[in-house]
Structures are given as structure tokens and as C-alpha cells.
Amino acid sequence: EVHLVVSGGGLVKPGGSLRLSCAASGFPFSGYAMNWVRQAPGKGLEWVSFISSGSSDIQYTDSVKGRFTISRDDAKNSVSLQMNSLRAEDTAVYYCARVGSAIDYWGQGTLVTVSS
């Protein structure tokens, strides 16, 4: 069974940094691309970042380019999102999700709150 367990959320001041981690199990992690998707409180879904199998293709939504960095460690079956220069509008639940047939499995999400 596929499991994606996200950690690292919390409260951070504007301009601060936070690192999210996602531990994957139940599937051959190195063979799959991974995503981060976020959802602001009471709002819809917003795709944030993508990393391919082998890390050869990395993509970001425009609003996080230059501030967020996605990476993966296939030896540890994990994907991370380093978030710098955080803004109030980055406040959201962040989901780690696998890319198979579309975004086929989602983790439970972690809340990131950017506030002074």
C-alpha cells in the first residue's frame, strides 16, 4: 500500500524558511515522479512543484520560483521542499503526491502558516 508521510510544517515569520519532507513507502520510489500541491485555507488546490524520476526535470509554479527548491533522495525514499523567503500568501496545507496516472496518491498534508 502506498504511504506518503509529510513532516516539517509549522508557524514561521514572513521572510523565514521551512523545509518540508515526505517519506514514501509501498512502491518503488525511484521510478516515480513526485509533486507538491498546496491548498490555502478555504481555497482550492494549487500545484507547486514537480520532480521527475532521476531529478532530470524540475518544475515550479511562477509564484515560488527562486524561493522554493524541490529535491529527492532515492536512497531514503524521500522528497523535500525547501521554502525560503516565505510570504503570507504561502500559508497553506502542503501535500506531497505521487505522479503515476496523473497525481495518483496524496499524503495527508502539513499546514504551513506564515505570520508575524
Partner 1 sequence: DIHMTQSPSTLSASVGDRVTITCRASQNIHTWLAWYQQTPGKAPKLLIYATSNLGSGVPSRFRGSGSQTEYTLTISSLQPDDFGTYYCQQYNVYPWTFGQGTNVET
Cα–Cα distance measured from residue 87 to residue 74, given in angstroms and rounded to the nearest whole number: 30
Considering only 14-22, 70-78, 80-88, 103-111, which stretch makes contact with partner 1 by CB under 8 A?
103-111
In this chain, which of 20, 90, 109, 112 binds partner 1, going by CB under 8 A? Answer: 109
Q: Is 36 in the site for partner 1 (CB under 8 A)?
A: no
Of 106, 105, 91, the residue nearest 9 (C-alpha): 91
Minimum CB separation of residue 82 from partner 1 in Å reads 19
In this chain, which of 25, 71, 85, 108 binds partner 1, going by CB under 8 A? Answer: 108
| DSSP, res 64 | G
Cα–Cα distance measured from residue 96 to residue 108, given in angstroms and rounded to the nearest whole number: 8
Q: SS3 string of 25-63? A: ECCCHHHCEEEEEEECCCCCEEEEEEECHHHCCEEECHH
In this chain, which of 47, 53, 67, 77 binds partner 1, going by CB under 8 A? Answer: 47
| Interface positions, 49-88, toward partner 1 (CB under 8 A) | 50, 59-62
Q: Is 107 in the site for partner 1 (CB under 8 A)?
A: yes
CA distances from 107 to 1, 16, 24, 103 (A): 12, 24, 9, 11
Minimum CB separation of residue 104 from partner 1 in Å reads 5
Binding site for partner 1 (CB under 8 A): 35, 37, 44-47, 50, 59-62, 95, 101-109
